[in-house]
Amino acid sequence: MPHNHPPHRDFLNIADFSPAETFALLNLAERMRTGAYDRKPLAGKALAMIFMKSSTRTRVSFEVGVTQLGGTAHFLSPRDVQLGRGEPIADTARVLDRYVHGIMIRTFAHADVETLAEYAKVPIINGLTDLSHPCQILADVLTIQQHLGDVRGKTVAWIGDGNNMANSWIEAAAHLGFTLKLACPEGYDPDDTFLRAGLSSGMVLLLRDPREAAAGADVVTTDVWASMGQEEEQAKRALAFALYQVDAPLMALAAPQAIFLHCLPAHRGEEVTAEVLDGPQSVVWDEAENRLHIQKAIMAALMGNEAL
C-alpha cells in the first residue's frame, strides 16, 4: 500500500543535503547527463506535480525525468487541486501521500511547501517558491562544473534582484565553497536570514556596483527584473535596475573563460542583451537541459533509494 512509506527526506532548500551528499548528487546527475546511468529506480512509482505557478522547464523536465527513471508523473494545476479552492494544504498532503511516492510543488509561499512537508509522508521537492529555487541552483552548479570544472574556489557574480534565485545562490556558496558577489540595487536585497548566514560564512559579498561584482568572475548570472506576481512593479523596477543590465562591456570585466547563466525565461534588452544571451559565453541552453539531469538525481535519491 502506498501509505506505508518508509522514513523519507525532503528537498526544500540547498542545505537539506550535506555538502558531501550534494557533490554526490552532482556526480550522479553528470552520469545521467553523459548517458552512463541507465537504472530505473522509479519503476512503479508516481510523482504528483502541483503547479500553483505556471512553468515550461520545471514541468517538462520533471515529467520527462520521472518517465526516464521508470515512473509516472501527474500534473496538477490550481484547477486540478482543491488548494485553489481552500482545502488546507495539510489535508491535500495527507491525501496525496496515499496515492504517490513523491510530491513536487511550484508555488508562491515557502510556508506552503513546509506545511506540505510536515504532513506528507513522502518526499517533497521544492520546484520553486518565492523564497528559494534549489533545483535551479543545483542545475546551475552542474553547468558550471560541466564547463569550468570543480565549482569549489570559483567566483560567481549575481547581477540584479535579490530574489529566490539569489537566496539559493547565497545558500549554495556557503555550502559548496565558492565565492558569490551579489550586485543588487538598494531596496532589492536578498532575504535577510539567507543574507546574514551568507555574509557570516565569508563566501558572500553584497555590493551595489555590478562592475565590481563582475570583475574577474568565472560566472556571471542574472534573472528577470520582475518575477511572476510582480508585473505591476515593472516600471518601478525598470528604473531601479537600469544600471544592472548584463551587456558585453560588463561580461568583458569577467575572467576570459567566464560563462553566462540565466534560469530563463529571459527578456532580451532588459536584464541581459541579446548579444550576451545568444553569444559565445552563454551556456543557458545547457543550463536548461541540466534541470532534467539534476532533478533526476534528486528523485533517484529521495524516491528511488539511490545511494549518495
Q: Which of 59, 101, 106, 237 is catalytic?
A: 106
**Among this protein's residues, is 152 annotated catalytic?**
no
Q: What is the largest CA-CA distance in the chain?
A: 59
CB 295 within 8 A of CB 67: no
Annotated binding residue 223: yes
CB 246 within 8 A of CB 271: yes
Annotated binding residue 184: no
CB atoms within 10 A of CB 77: 13
Annotated binding residue 227: yes
Annotated binding residue 168: no
Task: From residue 63, give the alpha-carbon distance in Å to each of 50, 72, 78, 174, 297.
Answer: 12, 8, 18, 31, 14
Annotated binding residue 230: no
Q: Which of 110, 130, 136, 146 is catalytic?
A: 136
SS3 2: coil
Annotated binding residue 56: yes
Annotated binding residue 22: no
**Strand residues in 63-178 grouped as ranges (E):** 72-76, 102-106, 124-128, 155-159
Q: Which of 16, 263, 281, 293 is catalytic?
A: 263
**Among this protein's residues, is 133 annotated catalytic?**
yes
CB 221 within 8 A of CB 158: yes
Annotated binding residue 228: yes
CB 289 within 8 A of CB 149: no
Could you identify the residue written with the cell 536548461? 288
Reported as type and span, the H/E element at residue 207 is strand 204-207
DSSP string, 23-81: HHHHHHHHHHHHT-----TTTT-EEEEEESS--SHHHHHHHHHHHHTT-EEEEE-TTTS
**Among this protein's residues, is 184 annotated catalytic?**
no
Annotated binding residue 106: yes
Annotated binding residue 1: no
CB 159 within 8 A of CB 244: yes
Q: Which of 16, 130, 191, 223 is catalytic?
A: 223
**Among this protein's residues, is 263 annotated catalytic?**
yes
Q: Who's near 34: CB < 8 A, 6+ residues apart?
A: none
Report the residue count for the chain.
Answer: 308
Catalytic residues: 106, 133, 136, 223, 263, 291
- Binding-site residues sit at 55-58, 82, 106, 133-136, 164, 223, 227-228, 263-264, 291
- Binding-site residues for L-ornithine sit at 164, 223, 227-228
- Binding-site residues for carbamoyl phosphate sit at 55-58, 82, 106, 133-136, 263-264, 291
